[in-house]
Structure 1
Amino acid sequence: MPKNYYIILGIPATSSQEEIKAAYRRLAKELHPDRCDEGHSPFQVIQEAYSVLSDPTRRRAYDDRRQHHKFTGPRGVNVEPMRARPRPEPLVPEQGPSGLTDVRLPRSFQTYRSSNETFFDRILSNFAEGGRTIATAAEPLFVVVTLTPDQAFRGGHIRINLPASLHCSDCQGHGGIGFYECWRCGGAGLISGDYPVMVSYPPSIPDGHVVRISLERFGMRDAPLNVRFRISDLI
């Protein structure tokens, strides 16, 4: 991955040539080579960054490489944002109750957000804290899933996609290591996406059946997710 010359100079990527020059001069005074061991001076890195960013042609080529690296992993492996990742088309069409049903959390909570707005925000806050529990006691939260009579008779599975922003495991939430920007999170320190939770329901499930799902692995020990199943012909 290319070094992040903008971080090295302590400036945003939108900086003008005047701002780049000013940052370089400031750092040059602070990091004079006489203050460091020969061959290990941070001033060498500062000079390298300035030589690239002060040249419009080299800067444009460098920015292109950085932009490309955000969408590719090591050795050119494509890295797709989790939220934008489409489900691949199955080789065998998923039919009937045995097929996996996707339920995305925000859509499922749409009718409950007016009464549970604060609690919903606390869930997202807990996710953003990377597992540190903030909510100590919260009212139960329900999501309603509607099944066809055939699905209810046969039983099956659903996948509920929880929206979350968790600490990046590569940089431990710091956004980078040293002068290097984390390629996985793009320097944000967080990975945002839909994290699947699998829920099974038994055959001949009655209307109104509730399954409680622990969210402890997301840091939510006291806030389980309650999935209520409804049967379409009985609603």
Structure 2
Amino acid sequence: MKKDYYEILGVDKGANSEEIKKAFRKLAHKYHPDKGGGDSTKFKEASEAYSILSDEKKRAEYDTYGKSGNNSGGYQGGQGAGGFGDFDFSGFAGQAEQGGFQDFDLGDIFGDLFGGGRKERVKRGRDISIDLAILFSESIFGAERKILITKTSVCSECKGSGAKVGSDTVTCDICNGKGRIHETKRSIFGTFSTQKECANCHGTGKIPREKCHKCRGAGVLRSEDEIVVKIPSGVDNGEMVRLGGAGEAVRGGTAGDLYIKLHVEKHPIFRKEGSNLLMDLNVKLTEAILGSEVKIKTLDGDLIVKIPEGVSHGEVLRIRSKGVPTGRHSRGDIMIKINIQIPTKLSKTAKKIVEELKKEGV
């Protein structure tokens, strides 16, 4: 059964890149395996879907050959095993994951049988998820924040080689420099030769002649790193920021990613709604009747707002281009909701004036 990447991300086929990105961020936070209640399978599915739909070329190919498939087995489907283009091996893969064929790898089997071999998987470090509290103004205008995080990083002394500075590396004597060990395994199909990563050289094919004293030859070690987080303008509370390659490092492979969930503090005056900033403004009855000028504090500084004569309770005034930045030279607006304050007690003089106004039909 072909995967529907749009269904996995929960977006329509006509979704734009921003909608796809937002959907992935939401799922990445929900299913990330490092968080409580995470689901590694669904996280991988969402990551796979995003990697295809976020790339215009891959998405076009997927839209053409993807879910519906074709005579070659669908998108990225397979003539790779030679002569099996019309056969769906997904059932075998599912059984392998459930333990039915856990002693061998179908990729190795068909690679050995038909000569193609499988594409080597690049090792990848674990992803990391953290939470970060930011100011309301930082969420509106964007910001750079420096954070300290303890994680597995490439050794700064040997730069990941595991060798002592000035020393070289030599060919691993276990795998003879191939980085992989061949094993013979039995299965329902017969006896097959499979491969696994060499534990001695971690798949690199090389071992240090003299080990690095800092990481003891591992090439990586736990350390506290300072990372600069660039917060884009206009982010919402709970939104995820992804820093590629800032996760856990692994020797002989690529580092995982760092996912940062943003927690925006509430502002005493403003609320964000799309590209606009909303606020309530209390005005006196006389100000509403006669009009006035009121000074308010905005994120850009003090601003004089003109209250028009005869303004209504609940009426919304718009201050243009003082809201959330939407581009290099464009911004949303400030929307001011008027709340007219009706006095609960009046002096004799004030009451007399109001009675006169009543006679005038006001």
Larger helix fraction of residues: 1
TM over 0.5: no
Normalising TM by the smaller chain, what interval? 0.3 to 0.5
Higher relative contact order (CA 8 A, sep 6+): 1
Flag the structure with larger Rg: 2
